[in-house]
Amino acid sequence: MSARNGSAFLIALTILVLSVSTELHATGKTGHEPSRDSIIRIVTQIQRADYEGDRSALKRLHDELAPIPEDNKLASRVLYWRGFALWRRAINGFNETPTPTDLEADLKQAVTDFNDSIARDPGYVESKIGAGSSLGYLMYLNMKNPTRVQELLQQSSPLLKEAMATAPDNPRLLWVLGPIRWSSPPERGGGQDKAIEIYNKGLEVARDHKRDVVDPLEPSWGEPELLMSLAWSNLNRTTPDLQAAEQYAEAALKLVPYWHYVRDILMPQIQAAAAQEVPKQLQPPANVQLLLQVHAKGDQVYTCKSDAALFTWMLKAPDAQLFDKDGKSFGKHFAGPSWEANDGSRVVGKAVANAPSPDADSIAWLLVNVVTHEGSGVLSSVTTIQRLNTKGGKAPATGCDAGHVGQEVRVAYSADYLFYAPK
């Protein structure tokens, strides 16, 4: 073999070896392992996409969490978040109209990812919670097929029982168990009150331990979800508590202002239910629209008055602080009756209609027409005010007599004031 032919042979052999090596690498491994930082970045995006209701992003981000790392613990966490993405993608889908047709496929793949996570870390409770919940949603989708429901129940029940035995106070577990308690009969430890009780317990635990999590790959979600479930439960319970429902929904939005479901679906449902509950005589005129709503906390101040031989506690004035939906100071409510915002704008009103509060121990609900304006600001355009959802504030039933004429007494109260302006 000549030197020239020998060189050509070596070059050809080198190309062949490199080619075979490349093929073996391609078939034996799907790509380089993602860095921990890149995994954390995707996990953060998954959680945001969940709250935003972005189902297409959840599918894309699920697929981006690949390949699965070799390290078992890290692999287990990656697989958990893959399962989480499709679990939440399905849950968001249930809130869409029409209902998407891919919910079952999402839930099945979520179960697979959660189970793969458990295989890498058999003691990992979070994946058992996710798998158990996903299987529960699959049962719902297959409720017309009793045989299939039993198959899914046999898979779900052991996972949730293991989670309850290992971490009974896990707030994410308690959130998952809430709907089960809600739909179970009282004789089996269920019922609406039991569900609300378990949500409240989870909320307390979540708040107590919110600073404990230092690893961003370990799930720490739960507080917003529990607040949302408490809002939903108070809206849908047999005897709705719409004031509580709204307060819980507002608290959830304070933590996650961009939460699509709570902001765009649940809160309007609560507000629509509240509007239906307002007596006809307290409905605002058709030519106005809601401008803002504030919450009042303070006192109704009464004075003991006499008229001949009759002694009565007469309202002197309200004395309350006003707070916006985020709990921040908005202004004050005082004699007039007057409402003054922190920007200096003020209105004085006159009650034109009233209705008894649903709470017999609370002051009446009112419809108020604005009669004067002062200053320039947020209240400048207000023409109508409602006082709703009152708690307390009623005049004492006793204590006003000849020996107490002129005496004042304060009775604590709270209420929501809704301000309306022309459309």
In this predicted structure, the answer to whether residue 26 has a pLDDT above a threshold of 80 is no
In this predicted structure, the answer to whether residue 5 has a pLDDT above a threshold of 70 is no
In this predicted structure, the answer to whether residue 172 has a pLDDT above a threshold of 60 is yes
Tokens of 303: 């004075």
pTM of the model: 0.68
State mean pLDDT over 193-210.
94
Which range among 8-12, 48-52, 161-165, 416-420 shows the weakest confidence by mean pLDDT? 8-12
Which of the two residues, 31 and 182, has the higher pLDDT score? 182
Euclidean distance between CA atoms 183 and 175, whole angstroms: 14
What digits encode the pLDDT tens for the residues 345-388? 999 999 999 999 988 899 999 999 999 999 999 999 999 999 99
Which range among 177-186, 205-214, 313-322 shows the weakest confidence by mean pLDDT? 205-214
pLDDT of residue 61: 98
What digits encode the pLDDT tens for the residues 236-275? 998 888 889 999 999 999 999 999 999 999 999 998 888 7
In this predicted structure, the answer to whether residue 389 has a pLDDT above a threshold of 60 is yes
Give residue 31's pLDDT band: very low, low, confident or very high (50, 70, 90): low
Tokens of 258: 């961009």
pLDDT of residue 4: 37
pLDDT of residue 13: 34
Euclidean distance between CA atoms 53 and 56, whole angstroms: 9
pLDDT of residue 2: 39
Cβ neighbours of residue 112 under 8 Å, at least 6 residues apart? 83
pLDDT of residue 51: 98
- For the chain, domain boundaries: 36-276, 283-422
Q: Residue 336, class by beta-carbon neighbours within 10 Å (0-12 exposed, 13-18 middle, 19+ buried)? A: middle
In this predicted structure, the answer to whether residue 25 has a pLDDT above a threshold of 60 is no
What digits encode the pLDDT tens for the residues 275-295? 778 899 999 999 999 999 999
Q: Which helix (H) or strand (E) holds 77?
A: helix 72-94
In this predicted structure, the answer to whether residue 67 has a pLDDT above a threshold of 50 is yes
CATH of 36-276, one of 2.60.120.10, 1.25.40.10, 3.20.20.70, 3.30.300.30: 1.25.40.10
Residue whose C-alpha is closest to residue 19's, from 27, 30, 8, 7: 27
Q: How many CB atoms lie within 10 A of CB 59?
A: 17
Euclidean distance between CA atoms 421 and 291, whole angstroms: 6
Give residue 106's pLDDT band: very low, low, confident or very high (50, 70, 90): very high
> What one-letter code names the amino acid at 419?
F
